Amino acid sequence: MIGQRLVRDVFGALPDGRAVERIVLHGAKGFAAHVITYGAALQALIAPDAVGHCDDVVLGHDDLAGYVGERRFFGATVGRYANRIANARFELDGEMVRLAANNGPHALHGGPNGFDRQLWQITETNEGEQPSVTLTYVSADGEEGYPGRLAVSVMYQLTGPSELSLAFRASTDRPTVVNLTNHSFFNLEGAASGTDILDHGLTIAAERFLAIDPTAIPLPTTPRSVAGTPFDFRKPTAIGARIRQDNAQLRNGRGYDHNFCLADDRQLRFAARLEAPRSGRVLELFTDQPGLQVYSGNYLDGSIAGKQGRLYRQSDAICLEPQVWPDAPNRSDFPSPHLAPGEIYRHHIVYRFSSRRGGA
């Protein structure tokens, strides 16, 4: 298999016997993305450090059983609506839509059986200079309470020597809401390094963020300025520099679990930069979405064993999730998540890796 840009094999079987496949896309100098059809998830992302040593930089599991077990969204494609919808309901075209609640009274990440719990189908592969795989899923009208038959696809593609792009598309036969994202947990020192991400440098291209209540629903106020708060990452700042400050918003999120407000022009643009001090790995994230949910792994509590048997604990990784703002179906002042028949939902993410000298 030496020299192959795309490798396809079986990752395991679901309890009902259906096979879960894995596709590995190979780039330059050991860079590789491993995608599985269960949850259309990024199961591994291999990236070189400043001296060329390669490590997997996303949390997850070594086998299918871990993904089918307790739900933690490792690397998953999340939908039909990523993040939270307050009280698991919203009004659409004058009618109340009631969803399946799975986060207290709220709906989170598509409900109890969201897209991350579904077996997606591989519909296209490309083994060329920019290898890719396209996975599809059809969400039935009424699934988890959402209206409309939604046809969804996500294409994973290596668009550079150390660059992974994700392109989401969706169409519906009835008015509905859509908000898809990837839920990878990044640790640029390595998923099994035994280190946390509190010393990672983080830059976010956002001047405002959404304040939340203790159940992580945005407050009924306008976005707040990041200036003078622990949420100001306009310049590179260690994630842990202010995470323990006595701040009401940090208490409500148990750390960072907040939407940062990006430009709402739906153009691909720089959103965030993550830097690991020892390995020298650098991740730049580009998106065309109006929000970036930043989650510092606050609910990882050591109860889940991941890759190489490592117990995942708080701040072992950070999630950078481009998306529409949380609870937007209930907020006319937020960017709209509405999708009508004849329209195409599109969402583009680029993860661009590099390294800087100075990492050990």
Other Cβ atoms closer than 10 A to 202 = 22
Identify the three-state secondary structure at position 68: helix
- 183 is an active site residue: yes
Q: Residue 27 has which token pair?
A: 């780039």
CA dihedral 221→225→226→229, nearest 10 degrees, is -80
Ramachandran sector of residue 87 (left: φ over 0; alpha: ψ -120 to 50; beta: rest): left
Q: Which two tokens stand for residue 2?
A: 């030496």
Catalytic residue chosen out of the listed positions 183, 200, 258, 347 = 183
321 is catalytic: yes
CA distance between the termini of the chain: 32
Alpha helices (runs of H) in 114-218, residue ranges in sequence order: none
Q: What is the C-alpha to C-alpha distance for residues 159 and 281, in angstroms, rounded to an integer?
A: 18
State the catalytic residue, choosing from 143, 163, 275, 321. 321
3-state secondary structure of 20: strand
Residues whose CB is less than 8 angstroms from the CB of residue 308 and which lie 6 or more positions away in sequence, other chains included: 62, 192
Active site residues: 183, 321
